[in-house]
Chain A
């Protein structure tokens, strides 16, 4: 009896999934547990393993195609077993793209959300636009002959949904017309870019931001870091077991500050404010084509070396786009550090539902007055963006003040 390959739910509010890659083709022998295909979520690519040993048959959703969660996207047959999956003649793929995957003729249908199991009629342009906008064709009413979905229907569906009170988004065509033909290249927008655009637009337009800046003197922290790194025991291969960065201290200091000022460790939930117990600190990691904000959970309870090791591991997987959504969702605050680019001060956009984000600048040497005399000090400016619905000015200021105290005297984090 053939085993169904089901499109799983890999993200909280996902109704459909896009298959970005098949690791095997129709007719391939696959082993249970081996990576079978990849689902592209808003931000990450998730590998889905084969549910059984056998021969992969009847792939119904090609690469780039989308299917409802819970639908069968292929079958795995035992060796020599006749291919008998009961099947109407049409594929369930919502947006198939021409590819080298199996022909749809013998493919079974398993799509509860498409009324009669038919592939929606749509023009090539409509399919492409829907693919780019992440809209399932099955959800778009077609205005053309015999219900065919045309480009205008997709554009209409895309505009109807989001952006409260926002001006209509400029259509790609209108933007392109402002520039000479041939003077630019059109780079398609992927899931990550779309998510960044939607989330940050929503944040900047609906979250009342205000900003607080503080300058921290880092000389004690730098000396502490030096001593800690110099004391790192050597591993079997002779390399030190840790090498703490300033950023590791910043994560720890922010976590400790949130514990000290619990009124700032909150998120706005519409009719309630969530007061969080742990300090779950998101840290922005730039990756090719966008960014991730993996979260260090309960950072207040972790040692600097544990934070450092976890951060290295999360950043590496973020760059490979291998984070699972649970690793970058949630979080009670976030840190964005552009110091390595020499940026001294900037402001960041809050990543909802978090209520704060700390924008960290570069450590720079300055002469500061001490008892009327110039003294050389290493300083860093951090700017806190606050969601005023949940965090008032005084609370934000207390948080930043606590953060500075931990940065200027890291020993306090042990107290």
Chain B
């Protein structure tokens, strides 16, 4: 099969969505002639014109308001944030408007918008451009929040997000944009709300999100040489969470670790741990639940500290080894 980068896969999804439905349009800062801060939209402005690939002024709140209004009026806007950190500027529109209008108007309207958020650390962009705020938005009923981890997933999930009648927040890790992978050419959908077992194993279940899926898979390879068989679940969607897949896995392995880049405290790992503790899988746990998440600190600018602030492969290996060997 043909290989695309994660960024190319997004671009292909956007093009196919615009081909299929004239209501779809793109908006964001420098997504037109410049091609986007991470070159995701590329030359789409030349192919679809400035009416459908719109450069927006630097006001995330204004853009989000336009997107909500356009969605209410029957369009399907796909809004790109230059950095997911700037979601904070648009919170009024995202949290108080997009997420709630369908409910407050008795289901008479939908808000079929998509917001794309380049997220995560590792680019030397420091504290205000490196965060993982996915759990913030996943806390809001009315939103759907996805974190595709591969080129094939991001294409399929973005197309599903554009189809979706509700606001969908797509978090794209910046370090994934250049990752290559097989991507089918025709349009296809990967359902929102369904986790994926990226690696089957017997000894411990790792629930990972976004780039941590790949770091966990790498850790799993190291541990396999030691005879530790790791199952890696790519959560893919933070809201709604696919609890059933995790329960099934924990019942098999009796051990659970959550690996995510967002700040550890009050993050997605806490939610997963709680759901397992509340579920039938509780009686199958043979060790404490382990969370490996981001440090309780803003992301540092110093490159070594930046690496140390989020889970890395050696730390995941050590954590899982301790968990399986009964040292926790």
Contact = CB atoms under 8 A, between A and B. Distances in A.
Interface of A: 123-128, 143-145, 150-152
B285 A145 contact: no
Nearest to A154: B286
B284 A143 contact: no
Contact of B285 (A123, A143, A144, A152): A123
A125 B284 CA distance: 4
Contacts, number: 29
Contact of B326 (A124, A127, A128, A143): A143
B254 A125 contact: yes
Interface in B286-328: 286-287, 326-328
A148 B285 CA distance: 13
Contacts of A152: 326
9 closest pairs, A vs B, by CB? A125-B286, A151-B286, A123-B286, A128-B283, A124-B285, A144-B326, A124-B283, A125-B254, A124-B282
A123 B287 CA distance: 6
Nearest to A128: B283
A143 B287 CA distance: 12
B276 to A, nearest CB: 10
Contacts of A145: 326-328
A151 B255 CA distance: 11
Interface in B227-261: 254
Contacts of B282: 124
Nearest to A143: B326
A152 B203 CA distance: 13
Majority-rule SS of B interface residues: loop
Contacts of B286: 123-126, 150-151
14 contacts: A123-B285, A124-B283, A124-B285, A124-B286, A125-B286, A126-B286, A127-B283, A128-B283, A143-B326, A144-B287, A145-B326, A145-B327, A145-B328, A150-B326
A152 B285 CA distance: 12
A128 B254 CA distance: 12
A126 B282 CA distance: 11
Contacts of A126: 286
Contacts of A125: 254, 283-286
A126 B286 CA distance: 7
B317 to A, nearest CB: 19
A123 B289 CA distance: 11
Among B282, B284, B286, the most chain A Cβ lie within 10 Å of the Cβ of B286
Contacts of A150: 286-287, 326
Nearest to B281: A124
A124 B284 contact: yes
A349 to B, nearest CB: 34
Nearest to B288: A123
A272 to B, nearest CB: 47
B254 A151 contact: yes
Contacts of B287: 123, 144, 150
Given A124-B286, A150-B326, 8 more contacts: A123-B285, A125-B254, A125-B283, A125-B286, A128-B284, A144-B326, A150-B287, A151-B286
Interface in B152-181: none
Contacts of A128: 283-284
Contacts of A151: 254, 286
A145 to B, nearest CB: 6
A125 B285 CA distance: 5
Interface in B257-290: 282-287
A86 to B, nearest CB: 33
Nearest to A131: B283
Contacts of B328: 145
Contacts of B284: 124-125, 128
B282 to A, nearest CB: 5
A126 B328 CA distance: 15
A383 B91 CA distance: 83
A80 B286 CA distance: 44
Contacts of A144: 287, 326
B255 to A, nearest CB: 9
